[in-house]
Structure 1
Amino acid sequence: MRVLVTGATGFLGGTAARLWQSAEMDVVGVGRDPVQGAALQAAGVEWVQVNLLNRGSWEPLFDRVDAVFHAAALSSLWGRWPNFYRQNVQVSAAVAEACARRGLRLVHVSTPSVYNATGWTQNVGEDTPLGPTFDSLYAKSKYQAEVAVQRACPDACLIRPRGIYGVGDTSIVPRLVRALRTGHLPRLTRTEVFTELTHVRNVVRAAELALHSRVAGIFNVTDGVATPIWHTIDLLADTLNLTCPRRYLSPRLVEGAAGVLERVYALHPARPEPPITASSVRLLTRGMTLDLTRARERLGYQPVISPPEGLAEVLRSLA
Structure 2
Amino acid sequence: MRILVTGATGFLGGAAARALARSGHDVIGTGRDLERGAALEAAGVRFVAFDLHKPPSPLLSRLDAVLHCAARSSLWGRWADFEADNVAVSARLACACAQRGLRLVHISTPSVYNATGLTRQVPETASLGPRFDSLYARSKYRAELEVRFHLPDATILRPRGLYGPGDSSLMPRLVRALRSGRLPRLSRQEVHTELTHVQNVVHAIELALERPAAGVFNITDGVSVPIWATLNRLAGALRVPRPTRYVPAKVAERAAALLEGLYRLSPGAPEPPITASGLRLLTRPMTLDLTRAREMLGYTPVIHPEDGLNEVIAAL
1:147 maps to which residue?
145
Match of 1:25 in 2: 25
- Map 1:8-47; keep pairs closer than 5 Å: 8-47=8-47
Deviation at 1:82, TM superposition (A): 0.2
CA distance in 2, matches of 1:85, 1:259: 22
Residue 187 of structure 1 is matched in structure 2 by: 185
**What CA distance in whole angstroms lies between the structure 2 residues aligned with 1:109 and 1:85?**
16
Structure 1 residue aligned with 2:70: 72
Supply the distance in 1 between the matched residues of 2:139 and 2:189 (Cα, whole angstroms). 32
Distance 2:15 2:167 in 1: 10
The separation in 1 between residues aligned to 2:164 and 2:90, in whole angstroms, is: 25
Partner deviation per Cα, 1:194-242 (whole Å, 9 max, x = no partner): 0000000000111111111231000000000001111111111111111
Match of 2:229, as an amino acid?
A: H
Aligned AA (2:245): R
In structure 2, what is the Cα distance between the partners aligned to 1:227 and 1:72?
A: 27
Mapped pair 1:132 → 2:130: yes
Q: Please name the residue that 1:90 is paired with.
A: 88
Distance in 2, matches of 1:247 and 1:275, equals 18
- Inter-partner Cα distance in structure 2 for 1:214 and 1:317: 36
Report the counterpart of residue 270 of structure 1 in structure 2.
Answer: 268
Root mean square deviation, CA, Å: 0.7
User: In structure 1, what residue type is equivalent to 2:100?
Assistant: R
**Letter of the 1:77 counterpart:** L
Cα distance in 2 for residues equivalent to 1:222 and 1:214: 19
The residue matched to 2:61 in structure 1 has which SS? helix
Local SS of the residue matching 1:63: coil
Q: How far, CA to CA, are the matches of 1:59 and 1:165 in structure 2?
A: 32
Secondary structure at the counterpart of residue 105 of structure 2? strand
SS across alignment from 2:153: coil
Q: Distance in 1 between matches of 2:81 and 2:269?
A: 12
Letter in 2 for 1:18: R
Q: Percent identity?
A: 62
**Is the partner of 2:106 in helix, strand or coil?**
strand
Q: 1:226 aligns with which of 224, 227, 230?
A: 224
Q: Please list every run of at least 4 consecutive aligned residues from structure 1 whose deviation after the TM superposition is greater than 3 angstroms.
A: none
The separation in 1 between residues aligned to 2:16 and 2:80, in whole angstroms, is 28
Matched positions, count: 316
Give 1:270 deviation, angstroms. Answer: 1.3
Q: In the alignment, does 2:308 pair up with 1:303?
A: no
> How far is the alpha carbon of 1:59 from its aligned partner?
2.1
Q: Matched residues in 2 for 1:295 and 1:44: separation?
A: 29
CA shift for structure 1 position 271: 2.6
Task: Determine the structure 1 residue equivalent to 2:251.
Answer: 253
> Equivalents in 2 of 1:68, 1:182: separation in Å?
41
Aligned pairs for 1:160-239 within 5 A: 160-239=158-237
Separation (CA, whole Å) in 2 of partners of 1:59 and 1:223: 36
Aligned-residue offset at 1:22: 1.1
Look up the equivalent residue of 2:74 and give its one-letter code: S
**Which deviates the most, 293-302 or 21-30?**
21-30
Q: Give the alignment's TM-score, normalised by structure 1.
A: 0.98
Return the TM-score normalized by structure 2: 0.99
TM-superposition CA deviations, 1:47-78 (whole Å, max 9, x none): 000111122xx421211311000000000010
Unaligned runs of 5+ in 1: none
* 3-state secondary structure, aligned to 2:60: helix
Structure 2 unaligned blocks of 5 or more: none
Give 1:31's aligned amino acid.
G
